[in-house]
């Protein structure tokens, strides 16, 4: 069997690419990747955003009648970053997947991992999860 090494990027359909790009930059710290800028110049091309280490890459495709995806994009983080993310996104008043604003009471205990779920302005669902289960359990109970 040939080897798969990493997910390169994920397509995300949005109604307004410029508005969404601003949200992804402000909320998740994802910036346009200069080497793929020519793709974004095409009407149907993607605007590729990535984190500073290029380990997370999202390709934004504009479609005015875009429907929210049913597939959840999940990011894995260490325990301390998990708490930093929930607090940052709560402070930004990011919408949880259930329609309310994110807060620590949105954190879900999956018994082996902790997760919280949120949506972008177009309703595309995301998850931030951590497998630092015991460490987070102690922090969340204190």
The pLDDT tens digits of the residues spanning 82-91 come to 999 999 999 9
> How does pLDDT run across 1-45, given as a tens digit for each residue?
999 999 999 999 999 999 999 999 999 999 999 999 889 888 889
Give long-range contacts, CB 8 A cutoff, 24+ apart: 37-41: none
To the nearest whole percent, how much of the chain has pLDDT over 90?
87
Residues 76/133, Cβ–Cβ less than 8 Å: no
Domains of the chain: 10-62 (3.30.720), 73-141 (3.10.180.10)
* Among the listed residues 99, 118, 123, the one whose alpha carbon sits nearest the alpha carbon of residue 108: 118
CB 47 within 8 A of CB 95: no
Taking the alpha carbons at both ends of the chain, their separation in whole angstroms is 47
Q: Cα–Cα distance between 84 and 89 in angstroms, integer?
A: 9
* DSSP one-letter code for 106: G
Note the pLDDT of residue 32: 96
């Amino acid at each position: 069997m040939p080897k798969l090494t990493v997910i390169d990027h994920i397509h995300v359909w949005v109604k307004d690419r410029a508005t969404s790009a601003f949200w992804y930059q402000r909320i998740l710290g994802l910036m346009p990747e200069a080497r793929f800028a020519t793709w974004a110049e095409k009407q149907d091309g993607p605007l590729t955003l990535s984190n500073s280490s290029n380990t997370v890459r999202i390709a934004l495709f504009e479609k005015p009648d875009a429907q929210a995806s049913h597939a959840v994009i999940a990011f894995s983080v260490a325990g301390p970053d998990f708490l930093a993310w929930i607090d940052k996104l709560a402070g930004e008043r990011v919408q949880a997947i259930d329609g309310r604003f994110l807060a620590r009471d949105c954190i879900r205990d999956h018994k082996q991992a902790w997760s919280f779920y949120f949506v972008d302005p177009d309703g595309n669902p995301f998850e931030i999860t951590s497998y630092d289960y015991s460490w987070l359990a102690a922090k969340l109970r204190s």
